Amino acid sequence: MVKTKEELEAKLDSIEGLEYEWLSDGSLRVVSEPVPAVRMIEQQHDHSIYQWAFHNSVIAAFIGWQDSRNDRKKSIRFGNNELMDENVLEAIAKYMDENKVAYQWEKGDFFALNNRLVMHSRNSYTGTRRVYAAMFGDAVGSNPNSPPERSARSISDPTTFGLWRLDDPEETVYNAIKNGYRRLDSACDYGNEEATGRGIRRAIEEGICARDDLFITTKLWNTYHDPQHVPLAMDKSLKDLGLDYVDEYLIHFPLSMEFVPFEDKYPPEWVNLDGNMVIVCNDINKTWQAMEALVHAGKAQNIGLCNFTSQHIRQVLSIAKIRPSTLQIESHPHHSQDKLIRLAHEQGMRVSVFSPMGATSYLSLDMATKDDVLFENEVIAGLAKRHNKSPAQIMLRWAIQRNTLPISKSSSAGRMQENRNLHDFYLSNDDMSKIGTLNKNRRYNDPGDFCEAAFGTFSPIYE
């Protein structure tokens, strides 16, 4: 929503192919119609849509006025002059009517209307008139206390390929890029950044993508939280990945551990050279300030947090000169984390979610049981059948419609494509609510559980 003439012009100028002119009476006339009948709707401010949608102007014309001179059912035609199926158009109009959102108007708001799409009748009109408008803006007024929206939050494709526990990292990364992924989620602790870098270079050298097409995330491990070690860890990841910069650098855990020299053990994992997990005192705010220096040095375009709780986030925000761009957390239907996601969004952060399909990745680690697997859950399976999609697609779509970026992985090219084919269906409010009822606050990746059993050190971070 815009509040000034200048803001309106900036909005219109950003639409490719749109032409307009100001009239002498101060009104604006659009002299082109650049928006096709079907287009991909991505993000509208804080709403994640990511769906191919019928443009509203077609429906507006279909449900317009009808009198002796105009038959609305015959007014909507394809380019070859064939009639569009009125049953399909009625179904779309009905769906729009049932899922409409009312905008809370404020004094001074503009409503830009393309007059070429409005039909007028000189005859009197009686009866109910349904009006639909393609609006860009939030359903409610913005919170004046919220931080400015960061441009980094706006992305064209929310699907992200995760690089944890890959059997053949180089080939898998190459194939992921070949099959359309442009967001890659890495970490030094995954132990495969050199192979990841080779896969990226191969894709770039073959012309599949350019470096600027990719959004690459990696993470600062727990043993490198001391400010003097932060730039060293960044340089090591950049060298292994073969990159001059990363698009995003996250603090992996709010858990500081004893430093392990790079030349002695890398990645250091959870234990030192003596095989012990040693937690040390560290001011995470000092770590964040060292992260900010990486942005100033041009080594990281954005910096953020991973596995942080609400209080950890507030602590960093209390001193941050560069606000966190992202919060990455575990989230799936068994662990929805609604409040934490809301907090992050209200603080202007993207939220990326690992393990969006729940327990599957943790079965082989004995961190989950078969009873935890969501693929055969009757709610998920029922929705998959109704939408003619896989259970994985249902859970990934659920994540997207919650305005989060799901991180998934597969070694299969077919499954990679399937996990990205999420934009031709939409989960209704009822569908979303049904999935929401599956939440039982079941966290699978919890250092407070696995560290003591595996390394002999009790280290809760979420309590």
Task: Give me the active site residues, please.
Answer: 190
- Whole-angstrom Cα distance, residue 391 to residue 435? 12
Burial class (CB in 10 A: 0-12, 13-18, 19+), 152: middle
User: CB–CB of 76/58 below 8 Å?
Assistant: yes
Assign 42 to helix, strand or coil. Answer: strand
> Strands 28-30, 20-22: parallel, antiparallel or unpaired by DSSP?
antiparallel
DSSP-assigned states of every residue in 216-249: EEEEE-GGG-STTTHHHHHHHHHHHHT-S-BSEE
| N-term to C-term CA, the chain | 41
| C-alpha span between 101 and 122 (Å, rounded) | 31
Beta carbons of 215 and 174 less than 8 angstroms apart: no
Residue 402's contacts (CB-CB under 8 Å, 6 or more residues apart) are: 48, 341, 432
Structure tokens at 427: 């989960």
> At how many degrees (to 10) do helices 378-387 and 391-401 cross?
90
- Tell me how crowded residue 459 is: count the other CB atoms within 10 A of its CB: 19
d(CA 36, CA 17): 11
Selection from 40, 39, 45, 31 nearest residue 58 by Cα: 39
CA distance 251 to 364: 26
The count of other CB atoms within 10 Å of the CB of residue 453 is 10
Helices of type H across 17-85: 56-62
